[in-house]
Structure 1
């Protein structure tokens, strides 16, 4: 009996599949030939009884360097002078790792400051309320 199962793999809205396989299939998707941006991988599979199933998987290709912008968000309304920090880093260097410039400078989150203030305030409250000389007796 002949195996009539087939898997066709389409990229974005292409009419022709870039790959046609018999299951199970294992292949490598080379993203260096795909432009950066949003794409979809459409997989069409036919069973031996010719029943068709479709699965669509959205994904994003980013072969270029990661670009990070601090100080300006998407669709943000700004006025006056706005300081902006732009950082771009990628994986071009395979043999060494450069630490400087590999991370984005970020401010300490406000919830950490609030937690620190609460801990200090509780410590001061404890000292004021419970620190009396008669509670602490010397061994000497």
Structure 2
């Protein structure tokens, strides 16, 4: 009894040579550490024993490098003059370890938080003044 297994060829982006040639079914460890950061296409071409061919394209993005965080400038902003920018770059480190120090990007407190604090403080001051003048305290 012969087994009717298809073969799959994995191509990355527009490469002519496959990165892998496998017989199905297979579990394949796709190491993205060897691929530069950015957008890529994985093209999977299958060929059956009868000669029929199937193709599947999968768009994906590799981001193995350090994460870069910028505060003070966003995509498509219209700006003028001098801008204070807060820039941070941090890496995930080794996946088997977790480091708390430096794991988060420091960020400024949003304006809406300051507004809420001011409203609460103003209401508290108003409440204390009105209650004190009514003789409750």
CA contact (8 A) 2:69 2:105 kept: no
Q: 1:99 is matched with which residue? A: 101
Deviations 1:64-102 (A, max 9, x none): 110011111123221012111111111225545133462
- Alignment root-mean-square deviation, CA: 3.2
Check whether the contact 2:39–2:61 (CA below 8 A) recurs between aligned residues.
yes
**Tell me, what secondary structure is at the counterpart of 1:32?**
helix
Q: Is the 8 A contact 1:5 1:50 kept in 2?
A: no
Q: Secondary structure at the match of 1:92?
A: coil
Mark the CA change 1:25 to 1:109 in structure 2 (over 3 Å): closer, same or farther.
farther
1:45 and 1:107 map into 2 onto residues whose CA distance is 53
Matches within 5 A, 1:1-140: 1-3=2-4, 5-92=6-93, 95-100=97-102, 102-108=104-110, 110=112
Instruction: Tell me the distance in 1 between the aligned counterparts of 2:59 and 2:108.
Output: 30
Equivalences, count: 122
- Partner Cα separation in structure 2 for residue 78 and residue 4 of structure 1: 59
Per the normalisation by structure 2, the TM-score is 0.70
